[in-house]
Homo-oligomer: A and B are copies of this chain.
Amino acid sequence: MEYRSLGKSGLQVSALSLGSWLTFGKQITDEVAGQLMEIAYEAGVNFFDNAEIYANGQSEVVMGNLLKEKNWDRSSYIVSSKLFFGSSQAKPNQKGLSRKHIMEGCHAALKRLQLDYVDLLFCHRPDKNTPIEETVWAMNHLIAQGKVLYWGTSEWSASELMEAYLVAEKYHLIGPTMEQPQYNMLVRDKMEKEYLHLFKHYGLGTSIWSPLASGLLSGKYNQRMPTDTRMNTDGLEWLKERTLQEQWIEKTCRLTELAAKTGVSMPVFALAWCLKNPNVSTVILGASKTAQLQENLQAIEAVKQLTEQVLEEVEQILQNKPEQPQF
């Protein structure tokens, strides 16, 4: 396993990590979940990603039980949670980024995970109804109380992140360490354009989600389109339009051929491509089967197949390289 710094922080995170999203407490049995964690941990994965909303808290419950069962040294792994959505029946103050929900949400997550602290706590979305001061303060209080080690964001804009740094600077507090954006061959703008200044000047780390574009880049839809329903729940809302879908399926077919030429499977190819971006701290894998996880873990090794020339061919196929700003 390769380890990378989480942005400018001192934390070392495995380049591939495991998320509980859509699987733990939902699609898979707790037994399979345990096997997945075992495989990952044995392969050197040290980061396990969660959120309060994943399976309405059940993902965290399952992972908490497994961590207790495995009884690995607490200092050997990193666990996260994310706050914002609350649960599916959230009342006022049971969601968002107010101090009340951050405090109560963190306590609830720790309880579900049966942990004293999470290593990473993410603001799962920006909250237009809470001044960012309140959120930055609350995160710092949790750090001061020892319940959180590093705080970050997910799907925030560059200007929202910049405001978080501003507020942290203003109050002499700790700013965000990492952001969790979607990133894959289809969705590139944030990682390759919008956040560039933050990577260079503010040392932002990233734990990226959906590296396979909700499975599209695994090649499994090469023959058959996903239904709109599936796409909506998986974060592919932007790909609803049929023409666009067809274009992407076609590109994925060509990428699959290219991957085969380099000797790796399509999903491994797509994951390795994400790992090539030095601003990616870790790529979060989801898996519902052990074989799938074992395959995807090969992405670390596959990175070396991605020569300059292969990457150039990828760009030829994708035709979506973000333009850099003129000034």
Q: A157-B159, A197-B159 are in contact. Are A12 and B93 (CB under 8 A)?
A: yes
> Separation in Å of the A251 CB from the closest CB of chain B?
22
User: When each residue 128-151 of chain A gets 1 if its CB lies under 8 Å from chain B and 0 otherwise, what string results?
Assistant: 111100110100010111100110
Chain B residues lying within 8 Å of A149, measured Cβ to Cβ, are 99-100, 103
Are the C-beta atoms of B172 and A171 separated by less than 8 Å? yes
Complex Cα gap A14–B91 (Å): 11
Are the C-beta atoms of B98 and A75 separated by less than 8 Å? no
Closest to A134 in B: B10
User: A223 in the interface, Cβ–Cβ < 8 Å?
Assistant: no
Question: In this complex, which of A5, A11, A14, A104 has the most chain B Cβ atoms within 10 angstroms of its Cβ?
Answer: A11
User: When each residue 97-138 of chain A gets 1 if its CB lies under 8 Å from chain B and 0 otherwise, what string results?
Assistant: 111110111001000000001010000011111110011010
Are the C-beta atoms of A131 and B74 separated by less than 8 Å? no
Closest to A98 in B: B10
Chain B residues lying within 8 Å of A91, measured Cβ to Cβ, are 46, 73, 75-76
User: A94 in the interface, Cβ–Cβ < 8 Å?
Assistant: yes
Chain B residues lying within 8 Å of A286, measured Cβ to Cβ, are none
